């Protein structure tokens, strides 16, 4: 039972343009969300997070938006750079079982020159 879904397995975007990655979840108890970035042969690394008390969190070129009513979050990367080419995972956790994050399948982003 996949509670966190990333329906786009891949995304190609031109350098300098915006990358938009989407993530949907089904568990209404999820109240903390993270995005991880993964390069080949490396483990995922933390990118940005958002708590359910917010609808937006921004860190440099990365912004995460949360729509609780739609159970949807998105990650915006502006402007996209070649070094952003990686797999991006969305993860979520409920407070009552904090630490056991549920992950999506990932979206492979390719930034082209």
Partner 1 sequence: GAGVSQSPSNKVTEKGKDVELRCDPISGHTALYWYRQRLGQGLEFLIYFQGNSAPDKSGLPSDRFSAERTGESVSTLTIQRTQQEDSAVYLCASSLGLPGPYGYTFGSGTRLTVV
**Can you give the binding site for partner 1, defined by CB under 8 A?**
2, 4, 6, 9, 32, 34, 36, 41-46, 49, 51, 89, 91, 98-106
Non-local CB neighbours of 107 within 8 Å, separated by 6+ positions: 6, 8, 9, 10, 11, 21, 22, 87, 88
Cβ distance to partner 1 smaller for residue 7 or 14? 7
The pair of three-digit structure tokens given for residue 6, joined into one six-digit string: 């990333």
Distance, CA of 81 to CA of 73 (rounded, Å): 22
Angle at 15 between CA 51 and CA 13, to 5 degrees: 70
CB of 5 to partner 1, least distance (A): 8
Cβ distance to partner 1 smaller for residue 43 or 113? 43
DSSP run (H or E) holding 88: strand 86-94
CB of 105 to partner 1, least distance (A): 4
CB of 94 to partner 1, least distance (A): 13
Cβ distance to partner 1 smaller for residue 30 or 101? 101
């Amino acid at each position: 039972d996949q509670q966190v879904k990333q329906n786009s397995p891949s995304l190609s975007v031109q350098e300098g343009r915006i990358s938009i990655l989407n993530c949907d979840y089904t568990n209404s108890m999820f109240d903390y969300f993270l995005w991880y970035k993964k390069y080949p042969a490396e483990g995922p690394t933390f990118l940005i997070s958002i708590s359910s008390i917010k609808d937006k969190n921004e860190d440099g070129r990365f912004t995460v938006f949360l729509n609780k009513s739609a159970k949807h979050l998105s990650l915006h990367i502006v402007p996209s750079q070649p070094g952003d080419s990686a797999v991006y995972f969305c993860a979520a956790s409920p407070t009552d079982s904090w630490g056991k994050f549920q992950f999506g399948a990932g979206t492979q982003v390719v930034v082209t020159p």
